[in-house]
Copies of this chain bind each other. A is one copy, B any other.
Amino acid sequence: MSNHIYKKIELVGSSPNSIEEAVQNAVAKASKTVHNMRWFEVVETRGQIENDKVAHWQVTLKIGFTLDPS
């Protein structure tokens, strides 16, 4: 944890089931192009309503990852 530099990106994950799953889906998607992910921060939680029920949880999050080799 010395002089590392981190970059943060902002994503919106979604899930029909839960806030946690929406975050997990975003992290899983990001893992295809980003390496060395270290933490996330939830920025906003919202969702879509269809037929009087929550149809999708949409969670905006920031993901921090190391820029240098760890």
Identify the 8 closest CB pairs spanning chains A and B, nearest first: A31-B52, A6-B12, A42-B45, A5-B29, A8-B10, A37-B49, A41-B46, A39-B48
| Chain A interface mostly | strand
Report the Cα distance A3→B25, complex, angstroms: 8
Q: Could you list which residues of chain A lie within 8 angstroms of chain B, going by C-beta atoms?
A: 1-16, 18-20, 23-31, 37-42, 44-49, 52-54, 56-57, 60, 62-64, 67-68
Task: Name the one of B3, B15, B48, B63 contacting A1, with C-beta atoms under 8 angstroms.
Answer: B48
A11: chain B residues within 8 A (beta carbon): 5-8, 67
Provide the residues of chain B in CB contact with A2, threshold 8 Å.
14, 16, 56
